[in-house]
Each structure stands twice: as C-alpha cells, then as structure tokens.
C-alpha cells in the first residue's frame, strides 16, 4: 500500500511541475512550432499541461456557479460567505 501511495505522490508532483512550467509557446495540440519545449517534463509535459488547462477551463465555463459555492463551502468564515 505504501508503494501505491508513493506512486500517486510522484505522479502528483510531476503533474504539478508540468502545470507550473506551462508556457503557451510550447508545442502542443493547438500550437505546432519548431521551437524547443520549455516544460520541465519535456514534450509530454507540454502536451499534458495544455490538455489539462483546456479541460479545466471548459469545465469552469460550463458551471459558473460551482466555483463560488466551493469557496463558500470550503471557507465558511471568510470573506467569500
């Protein structure tokens, strides 16, 4: 079970590094360039970050009230409520 947890942790850290080092100029599904990638995880990281950011953006635009509700539910005593 510890091995599974360690594997999940490594994947999560890699995913976070991929998103943090995202650059719109990197080659991806929507931007075919001859430029070298700047993502820390290389070309797979550039493709994964672009896909993830587009998916998150599409989900956010389809449900405009969910973001506000999750902030209120998470931080009930803050300025969001």
Tell me whether residue 79 is in a domain. no
Out of 38-47, 50-59, 71-80, the most confident range is: 38-47
Instruction: Indicate if the alpha-carbon torsion angle 24, 27, 31, 34 is positive or negative.
Output: positive
Q: Which domain holds residue 60?
A: 2-74
Tell me whether residue 65 is in a domain. yes
Tell me whether residue 81 is in a domain. no
Give me the number of domains the chain comprises. 1
pTM for the full model? 0.61
Tell me whether residue 80 is in a domain. no
At a CB cut-off of 8 Å and minimum separation 6, what does 51 contact? 28, 29
Confidence of residue 4 (pLDDT cuts 50, 70, 90): very high
Residue written as token pair 């989900």: 59
Residue written as token pair 């973001």: 67
Tell me whether residue 34 is in a domain. yes
Q: Terminus-to-terminus CA distance in the chain, angstroms? A: 39
Class of residue 73 by CB neighbours under 10 A (exposed 0-12, middle 13-18, buried 19+): exposed
19-30 pLDDT, tens digit each: 888 888 888 877
């Amino acid at each position: 079970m510890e091995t599974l947890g360690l594997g999940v942790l490594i994947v999560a850290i890699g995913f976070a590094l991929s998103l943090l080092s995202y650059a719109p100029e990197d080659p991806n599904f929507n931007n075919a360039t001859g430029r070298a990638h700047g993502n820390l995880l290389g070309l797979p990281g550039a493709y994964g970050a672009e896909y993830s950011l587009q998916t998150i953006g599409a989900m956010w635009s389809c449900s405009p009230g969910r973001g506000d509700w999750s902030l209120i539910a998470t931080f009930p005593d803050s300025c969001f409520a």
